[in-house]
Structure formats: C-alpha cells, structure tokens
C-alpha cells in the first residue's frame, strides 16, 4: 500500500521495488515539491497526476528507465531539477525534452547514452543551467549540438570522446565550467572551445593529450583554471598560452614533461599557482619562469631535477612574488650558491626527499623571509665546506624542519650536523671530484668529426660515473671514452672524451661534462659547438649582354650556415664605376644585382662572392655592353684646289667596333689609285683631287646595335684660281704674311730660351740631324712645282751648334725653322742625281724663295748623305758625286726675327690646311681632343733637303703608312709617279709621306 503524507513538500520513496506509481496516491499532497524515487524498478518517468504541475525536483536515480518521452514531462510545469542518472537510457532525441518544463538542472550521468541528436536539448534552451552527461558512452559531440545559451556548467566526464572539433561548444555563451576528465581525448582542434568567452574552469585531466594546442584555446579570454594533469604532454611552449593569459591556476602534474624552456610560460603574467609535480623534468632553462610575476606557489615535487640546483643559476629568476617552492623527491645532491637567486621573498622551501650531500656557503642567505626549510638527508659530507650551515639554520630557527645526518668522514657518520662540533668540520681530502681540464668551445664544418675532453681528480675510489650534457640535458647513447689514471698514489684522474661524428646542425649547442661519485657531482664549464656550412651557390650570375642606357641584371644566391653574405666585385675591385656613381642596386630579398643607366665603362667581369665564417666562394659573369655607332668627331666640309690631297676623317665609336663604308652621293665610293684608306676605313685620303671628286661624301657606321651616318661636302676649286692677282688676293696675302711673321717672332723667343737651357746643360754636338717623331707636325705648301715640305721640330738637340740669332726663313706656306741651326743646301738640277751640300751659316736655302732674297750667316759646309732611288744606306754618305751650290734664285735673306723680305709663289693656303706648331712642353691639341692626333702625323717631307736615314729608322718614325694597293701617296708636284712602299726612298724626288696615328 502507498504511504501518503499530508501537507508534506517532499516525498521519498527510494529503495523500494516500485515498478509504477498510482497517481491517485498523490491527490492529497497539494504542496508536494520534491519526489525521491531512487533505487526502484521504474522503467519510465512516472506521473503523480495533478501533483505533477507542482513538483520542482524529481529524483529517479538507479532505476531501469530506458528512454525519455516528451509527453511524460509535459505535466511537470514547475520542474527545475530532474535526476535520471544511473538508468538505462541509450539515446537522447530532439523529442525527449519539450518546451514547457523550466528545468534548470538535468542529470543524465551513468547511463548508456551513445547518441546525442542535434537539437536534443533545444526545448530547455531558456532554462537549463547545469547539464551532467558524465559516465556515458558518448564518442562524439556534434558541432553546435548544444544550443543552451544559459547553461553554466557542463559535465562530460568519463565518456569516450577522442576528438573535440572546432566550434563544438558554440551556443554555450554562458558556460563557466566544462569538465572533460577521463575521456580518451587526444586531439583538440583549432577553435575547439570557441564561443566560451565566459568560462572560468576547464578540466581535461586523465586524457591522452600530448601537447597543448594554443589554437584550440582560442576564445578562452576569461579562463582562470586549466587542469591538464594526468595526460601525456611532453613539452610546453611560449605560444601555447596566447589566448588564455588570465589564467590563475595551471595544473600540469603527472605528465611527461622533461624540460622547461626559456620563457615557455612568459605570457601567463596573472598565474598564481603552477603545479608541475610528478613529471620527468630534469632541465630548467635560465629564464624558464620569466614573466610569472604573480606566481605564489610552484610545485616541482617528484621530478628528476638535479643540475638546476647543483650547477645553474638564474633558473628561478622572475619569481619575485613566489612564496612557496616545493622540490620534494628529486635527485638533488648538492645546492649551489646561486641556485635560488631571485627568490628573496620565498617563505616555504621544501628540499625533502633528496639525498643532499653538500650545501655551498650562503646558498639560502638571501632569502630573508624564509620561514620553513625542509631538508631530510642522511648523506651529508661533513667537511669544512658544511661548517657554516648548522649555525645559520639555528640562527634562523629553521632546525626543526631539517633532518641532516653525516655520512662522511667515518668518525662522524650517523651524527646530526647540529651535534657535530664546529672544529670537526675539516677538509683532509677531496672526495668529491674536482674539474682540472675543461672542455673548450669550438667551431666545425658540417661533416667533420669533433671531440670534447674533460678531466677531474678525486681522492675517493668510489665508483665514478661520467655523463655529458647538451643544453643542460643528458646525452643518452653518446659516443664517450673514459679513462682513469692514478696520480701521486692517492689521487685518481678521470678523463672523459665525447666524440661527435660527422656533425650536423643538430649538434650545435653547449656541451658540459658531469663527473659523479658517491660524494657528489662536479659540473664542467659549458663549451659551445658551432656548426657551419661552407657557402654553396643556389643561383649563379650568367654572362649578360646589354645596351648602353639600359639596365643590367645579375642574379646570385647562396646557401650556407650561417647565412652567407653576398658581395660584388668588378674586375677584382670593389670601387667600380656603377658603385662609384651610385648606379648599383642590390635587392637582398630576391638576390638580384642591378646596374642602371649602363655605360661602356660598366663592361667587364663581375664576381659574386658568398662568404660566411666557414669560408667563401665566388662565381664570375661577363657583362658585355653594346653601344650604337656614333661620331667621335663631326665630319667637316672641305674646300680644296685641284691637284691637292684631301683627307676625310670618320672617327667612329661603338661596341662592337662599327664597320665603316664610304659613299659618294647615294652610291658606294668608286675607288681609284688616288683613293687610300686606313685599315679600319676611318680615314679616306684622296690624292691629286680633280673636279669630279667634288660632292657629298657619306660615312656609314654600322654594328649589331644600329647604324649612324655622317656627311662631308667636298668642294674642288680650279687650280688657276689661286694664281690670279687682284685686290682680294693681295689682302689675303698680307693677312697670311702678318700671321706668319708673328708666329716667327714667337719661335725666335722659344729657340733662344731652348738654346740657353741647352748650353747650360752642355749637350754634346753630334753633327747629325735626327727626326723627332713625337714633335713633327703637318705643314703644307701651295708653291707650285718648287714647293717642298719640310719637317719642323722642337727638339733643340738635333742641331746643337745653331746660332740662336740665325733662323730659317719663314715662308707663308713653308719654311724650315730649326731651334739652333740654320741650313743652306745645294743641289743639282731637279731630277739629276748627285751629292748634296748644306752650308751651316746665316744663309738658308728655302725652296719657295725668290732670287732676290738672301740670308747672311756663317759658312760651314756639312755634306748630306745621298740616297739613291734604289736603296737606302743605313749609315754614312753615299760615295761619289760633287758639291754644287744651289741656284741663286732659291736663296732668301732672313733677319734674326726670321722674316723674309720677298718671296715668290702663291701665298694662298688651302681651306683645309693646318699649320700645327709643336712647342716643347706644350703638346699640340689633337684632332680628337685626347692629346694625340687621331691620324696625324701627315708629313709632306721634302726628301731632297732631308738628311737620309736608315730604313729601320724611318719605319720606326713613321709607324704606319697609309697605303692603297701597296703604294705611297703621290707627291704634290706635277709628276704623277707613285713610289712603291718597299723599304726604299727616292733619291731626290720631293715625296710627301702621310703617316697614320701611333697606337
């Protein structure tokens, strides 16, 4: 029978065997609010009839309910708490919880739920605050399956969830606590907790996580507690905490952490509690806790920490607010002096559970606020280095937390350090190893074999172990050689050698040896190994051809370690035109070298040099610069008289050297024996000009880049036009005469100064005149058949005995003017072979003077060496012949000023004649503006009055003759004979020699 309770607000029918409920039994319970039907045999949610609408809490734990029907809950209009835990429910459909009941807390834990249908709890979206689904069989949470904007707590413990996808919990905007313990979660995908901006606590204990995926924590801006204990996390990194920087408590206990890297927790500036116990941490980098300025509790119990406390300093820097540090159950054997540097505010330090043997002097002195220091060890080495510790502990009233017993010397074994008299702490030996040879820092190239050597000495014969550390982590399976040597009978020397074979970048780091025996460990200095790689080119510059004014591009890139630096040279130098003129651009991002506005000077060999600390390499590329043809000197229009010789110059530049073609008018030039070219066609010489030669001459220059043309108009005047008298001719004659007289006065002054200097240096006389090739100039004459070309020289040493006041007569067209000697020559009638005679004196023979002209001077006969038409004798005069005086009509009279009183012949020079005077120490201006004539020297050399020279001498002076068909240019006289260029000179014929430019 039913048990009815009038006027009761709670009804407990638990622990019965109720399979169903009679609604009539609840009619007399108008105030019923709580119904307990736990541990019965109900198979469905019961209905208490009219009382259903008043029930607030319904507890149905441990029944046999298999499903939830929405129709069964519609009558519970006031229901806020529904507990269906530990039943047989297998699925939750979207019809299970209809709209209507204002359920705030729903407990479905301990069922067999494997399926959560999308939208299953939508009917409770406006009321549900707590949802418990722990201990079910849920393997996957559908994305956005829970649209419960008011939910604050969600419990999914002890399910079978392995993966949390992104946006899984979107829609739980008010969630504050999420529990996912004891699932099999191994992966948290990016954005797994996105939308939980108000969540304070996230529990992920007892899962299979191997890392903390910082991107999965995106959106947890209000998270205060993160529990990650009992996972398989091996490493934490700085970036993991980017999206949860307001954490107050982080629990990472019972994981597989082996090291804490520098600044790995730096972003957690609000963190107050950090629990890292029960890991395998052996390495704590200096600065590992940097940034944790709010941390108060640090739990490092039950790890493998040793070197952090024994050797390093600065591991706890940045923890100025830390009040409690626990290091219980580690492998600490000694405490270094600066092990706890930075923990001046520490109040509680637990070093219990460590077999501590020694504590360096003043290791705890800086911790002024220390209230508890826990030490429990029976392995203390009670020597002179421990003498300070007992009185310090007692002075700070910390001895109550310390259990410390001596293990050595044997006389003090088993005694508490507090009971040992101060005088008994002595150092009679050194049982703990002491380093005597430190490993040395070194650099290697990839592939080399490297070794580090470390030695220590100890007076103990206890078993000794050797270990090498790299970046504070012990190297396992290292290639090590160990040696032990006895020294002085009682001391043993221990040597360990670490071999690194064929090193790679992975070998870089700081290496340290650790030598340990029963009494403690000794740490060497840290030796750094740097591994470099020789540079190797990934891009090499290629030969390039560009035009002027464009841009040249050269590529060069290299790989190596450290990264190679790229530099450029041109022809072996760094200060090349493009660099000097700042036309060089280097693009470091794409390894390109540019030269802008390319010039011809930029052509050359460019070297790309890649260099790092391991070495350097270079690669070369040739830059060829092409230049379109152009005229270096503009062509000039020329006006000549018939019978004269004219030269047209086409000074062309360009790369490659342009090909030059001459045209007359619009047709190629019709060549005759009067036309002569230099080998490169830059100079066209036309002898014995005739009227038909007049016209427009075109020089066409072409190469692979382009073509250019230059034009010169040649005008030919009749020869008779220069012989006509008249007012105009006379005026012109007077002007020319005046110009020549003025020039002669200048020469007189120069000759006088030259002779004066020569006499001061006492230059010996040779008696022979020589030709100075470098000081010869072009001179011309229009004197008709009697005109002859002479060579003017500035070299005073040719005529050392000449009188400075006696100078050769200066004709309007041509006279021989020497610095120190005046000459008078005699010859037979023209064309008659025979010896010549020159008288040295004041009178000079001038070929173009009238018969009335005379010159007075001293008499001194100097015979000329005769030259036959067939041969040239290298030395001495030709035997035979007689001396004859020159005909009187060839004499002229000259003053000291060098002017002639009266001369015959035409005084009209050609429009294109050039009288170029070469003055010593004042080089003449060249035609091309570069100091040396482009095609000079063109010499009109009167062989009749010149002293013959050896053929070799003439060849040296001339350098190159302008030849056409193997002939010399013809003379300016009326005879048309051509002289072969065969190493011989004519005997008495006046022949102008036209010389090519010297190279």
Q: CB within 8 A of 164, min separation 6: which ones?
A: 141, 180, 185, 187, 188, 189, 192, 193, 216
**Is the model's pTM score more than 0.85?**
no
- Cα–Cα distance between 631 and 635 in angstroms, integer? 8
CATH code 3.40.50.720 for 259-427: no
Torsion angles phi and psi, residue 469, rounded to 5: -115, 145
Report the range of poorest mean pLDDT among 118-132, 415-429, 520-534, 571-585.
Answer: 571-585
Query: Residue 257: pLDDT above 80?
Result: yes
Range with lowest mean pLDDT among 7-16, 570-579, 656-665, 844-853: 844-853
Q: Do 159-256 and 259-427 fold alike per CATH?
A: yes
pLDDT for 793-816, tens place per residue? 333 333 333 333 333 333 343 333
Query: For the chain, what are the domain ranges?
Result: 1-138, 159-256, 259-427, 434-530, 540-626, 632-722
Using a 10 angstrom Cβ sphere, with 0-12 exposed, 13-18 middle and 19 or more buried, the burial of residue 799 is buried
- Does the structure show a pLDDT above 50 at 102? yes
Answer whether 149's CB lies under 8 Å from 173's CB: yes
Q: What class does CATH assign to 1-138?
A: alpha beta
Look at residue 250 in the predicted model and tell me its pLDDT: 97
Rounded Cα distance between 908 and 79, Å, is 138
Whether the per-residue pLDDT at 198 is higher than 50: the answer is: yes
Q: Which CATH superfamily is domain 159-256 in?
A: Ribonuclease Inhibitor (3.80.10.10)
Is residue 89's pLDDT more than 60?
Answer: yes
Of 818, 813, 812, 902, give the one whose Cα is nearest residue 855.
902
Q: What integer pLDDT is reported at residue 759 of this predicted model? A: 56
Average pLDDT over residues 542-555: 90
The pLDDT of 617-622, averaged and rounded, is 93
CA-based end-to-end distance of the chain: 139
Q: How many helices (H) and strands (E) does the chain have?
A: 6, 59
Average pLDDT over residues 111-128: 92
What are 741-794's pLDDT values in tens digits? Answer: 676 777 676 777 666 655 554 434 433 333 333 333 333 333 333 333 333 333
Q: pLDDT category, 48, cuts 50, 70, 90?
A: confident
E-strand ranges in 810-920 read 823-826, 837-840, 844-845, 861-863, 891-892
List CB contacts of 940: < 8 A, sequence separation 6 or more.
778, 779, 780, 781, 788, 789, 790, 814, 972, 992, 993
Q: How many other CB atoms are there within 10 angstroms of residue 532's CB atom?
A: 20
For 419-430, give one letter per residue: b (16+ CB within 10 A) or e. ebeeebbeeeee
Q: Indicate the average pLDDT of the chain.
A: 76
Q: What is the per-residue pLDDT across 454-498, written as a single tens digit (0 to 9) for each?
A: 999 988 888 888 999 888 788 988 899 998 888 776 788 899 999
Q: What pLDDT, in 10s, does the model give residues 270-282?
A: 999 999 999 999 8
Nearest to 526 by CA among 444, 465, 435: 435
In this structure, CATH architecture of domain 540-626: Sandwich (2.60)
Which of 127-136, 432-441, 530-539, 737-746 shows the lowest per-residue confidence on average (mean pLDDT)?
Answer: 737-746
pLDDT bin (cut points 50, 70, 90) of residue 429 is confident
Topology of domain 434-530 in CATH is Immunoglobulin-like (2.60.40)
| pLDDT for the residue numbered 964 | 37
| Residue 736 confidence class, pLDDT cut points 50, 70, 90 | low
Contact 469/512 with Cβ under 8 angstroms? yes
pLDDT, residue 681, reads 87
Q: Given a cut of 90, is residue 845 above it in pLDDT?
A: no
Query: Does the domain at residues 632-722 carry the CATH identifier 2.60.40.10?
Result: yes
In tens, the pLDDT along 922-940 reads 333 333 433 333 333 333 3
For residue 575, pLDDT over 90 is answered with no
């Amino acid at each position: 029978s039913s048990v009815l309770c009038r006027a009761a607000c709670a009804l407990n029918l638990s622990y019965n065997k109720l399979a169903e409920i009679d609604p009539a039994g609840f009619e007399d319970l108008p105030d019923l609010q709580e119904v307990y039907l736990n541990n019965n045999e109900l198979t469905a949610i019961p209905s208490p009839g009219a009382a259903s609408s008043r029930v607030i809490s319904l507890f149905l734990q441990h029944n046999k309910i298999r499903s939830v029907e929405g129709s069964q809950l519609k009558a519970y209009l006031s229901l806020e708490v529904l507990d269906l835990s530990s039943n047989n429910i297998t699925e939750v459909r979207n019809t299970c919880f209809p709209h209507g009941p204002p359920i705030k807390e729903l407990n479905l834990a301990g069922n067999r739920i494997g399926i959560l249908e999308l939208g299953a709890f939508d009917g409770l979206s406006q009321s549900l605050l707590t949802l418990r689904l722990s201990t079910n069989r849920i393997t996957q949470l559908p994305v956005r399956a829970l649209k419960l904007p008011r939910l604050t707590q969600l419990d999914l413990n002890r399910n079978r969830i392995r993966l949390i996808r992104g946006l899984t919990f979107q829609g739980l905007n008010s969630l504050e606590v999420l529990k996912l313990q004891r699932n099999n979660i191994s992966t948290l995908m990016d954005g797994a907790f996105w939308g939980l901006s108000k969540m304070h606590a996230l529990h992920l204990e007892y899962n299979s996580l191997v890392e903390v995926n910082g991107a999965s924590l995106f959106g947890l801006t209000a998270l205060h507690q993160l529990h990650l204990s009992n996972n398989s996390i091996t490493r934490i990194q700085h970036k993991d905490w980017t999206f949860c920087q307001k954490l107050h408590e982080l629990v990472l206990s019972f994981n597989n952490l082996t090291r804490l890297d520098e600044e790995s927790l730096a972003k957690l500036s609000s963190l107050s509690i950090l629990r890292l116990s029960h890991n395998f941490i052996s390495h704590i980098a200096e600065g590992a806790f940097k940034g944790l300025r709010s941390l108060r509790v640090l739990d490092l119990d039950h790890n493998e920490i040793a070197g952090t406390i024994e050797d390093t300093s600065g591991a706890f820097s940045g923890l100025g607010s830390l009040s409690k540090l626990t290091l219980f159950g580690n492998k600490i054997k000694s405490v270094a002096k600066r092990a706890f540097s930075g923990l001046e505010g520490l109040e509680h330090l637990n070093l219990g559970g460590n077999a501590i043997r020694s504590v360096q002097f003043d290791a705890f002195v800086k911790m002024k606020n220390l209230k508890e220091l826990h030490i429990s060890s029976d392995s203390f080495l009670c020597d002179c280095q421990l003498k300070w510790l007992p009185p310090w502990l007692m002075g700070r009233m910390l001895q109550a937390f310390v259990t410390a017993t001596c293990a050595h010397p044997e006389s003090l074994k088993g005694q508490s350090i507090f009971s040992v008299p101060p005088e008994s702490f002595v150092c009679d030996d050194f049982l703990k190893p002491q380093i005597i040879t430190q490993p040395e820092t070194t650099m290697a190239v990839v592939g080399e074999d490297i070794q580090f050597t470390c030695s220590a000495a100890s007076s103990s014969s206890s078993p000794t172990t050797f270990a090498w550390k790299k970046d504070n982590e012990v190297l396992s399976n290292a290639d090590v050689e160990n040696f032990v040597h006895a020294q002085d009978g009682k001391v043993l020397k221990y040597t360990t050698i670490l071999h690194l074979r064929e090193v790679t970048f992975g070998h870089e780091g700081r290496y340290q040896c650790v030598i340990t025996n029963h009494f403690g460990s000794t740490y060497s200095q840290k030796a750094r190994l740097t591994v470099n790689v020789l540079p190797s080119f990934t891009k090499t510059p290629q030969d390039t051809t560009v035009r002027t004014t464009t841009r040249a591009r050269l590529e060069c890139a290299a790989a190596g370690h450290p990264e190679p630096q790229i530099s450029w040279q041109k022809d072996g130098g760094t200060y090349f035109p493009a660099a000097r003129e700042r036309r060089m651009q280097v693009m470091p991002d794409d390894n390109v070298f540019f030269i802008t506005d390319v010039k011809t000077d930029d052509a050359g060999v460019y070297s790309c040099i890649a260099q790092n600390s391991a070495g350097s390499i270079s690669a070369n590329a040739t830059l060829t610069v092409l230049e379109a043809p152009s005229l270096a000197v503009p062509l000039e229009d020329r006006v000549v008289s018939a019978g004269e010789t004219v030269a047209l110059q086409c000074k062309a530049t360009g790369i490659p050297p342009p090909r030059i073609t001459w045209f007359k008018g619009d047709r190629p030039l019709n060549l005759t024996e009067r036309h002569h070219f230099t080998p490169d066609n830059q100079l066209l010489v036309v002898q014995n000009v005739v009227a038909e030669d007049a016209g427009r001459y075109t020089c066409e220059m072409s190469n692979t880049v382009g073509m250019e043309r230059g034009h010169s108009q040649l005008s030919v005047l009749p020869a008779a036009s220069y012989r006509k008298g008249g007012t105009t001719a006379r005026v012109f004659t007077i002007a020319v005469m005046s110009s020549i007289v003025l020039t002669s006065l200048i020469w007189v002054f120069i000759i006088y100064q030259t002779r004066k200097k020569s006499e001061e240096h006492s230059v010996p006389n040779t008696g022979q005149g020589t030709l100075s090739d470098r000081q010869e100039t072009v001179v011309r004459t229009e004197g008709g058949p009697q005109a002859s070309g002479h060579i003017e020289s500035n070299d005073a040493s040719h005529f050392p005995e000449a009188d400075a006041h006696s100078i050769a007569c200066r004709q309007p067209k041509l006279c021989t003017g020497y610095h120190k000697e005046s000459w008078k020559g005699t010859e037979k009638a023209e064309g008659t072979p025979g010896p010549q005679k020159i008288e040295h004196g004041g009178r000079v023979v001038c070929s173009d003077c009238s018969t009335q002209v005379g010159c007075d001077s001293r008499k001194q006969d100097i015979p000329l060496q005769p030259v036959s038409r067939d041969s040239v004798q290298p030395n001495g005069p030709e035997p035979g012949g007689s001396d004859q005086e020159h005909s009187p009509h060839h004499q002229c009279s000259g003053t000291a000023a060098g002017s002639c009183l009266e001369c015959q012949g035409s005084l009209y020079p050609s429009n294109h004649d050039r009288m170029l005077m070469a003055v010593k120490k004042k080089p003449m201006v060249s035609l091309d503006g570069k100091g040396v004539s482009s095609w000079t020297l063109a010499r009109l050399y009167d062989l009749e009055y010149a002293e013959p020279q050896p053929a070799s001498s003439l060849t040296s002076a001339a350098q190159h003759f302008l030849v056409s068909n193997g002939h010399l240019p013809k003379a300016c006289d009326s005879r048309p004979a051509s002289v072969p260029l065969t190493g011989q000179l004519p005997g008495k014929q006046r022949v102008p020699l036209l010389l090519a430019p010297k190279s």
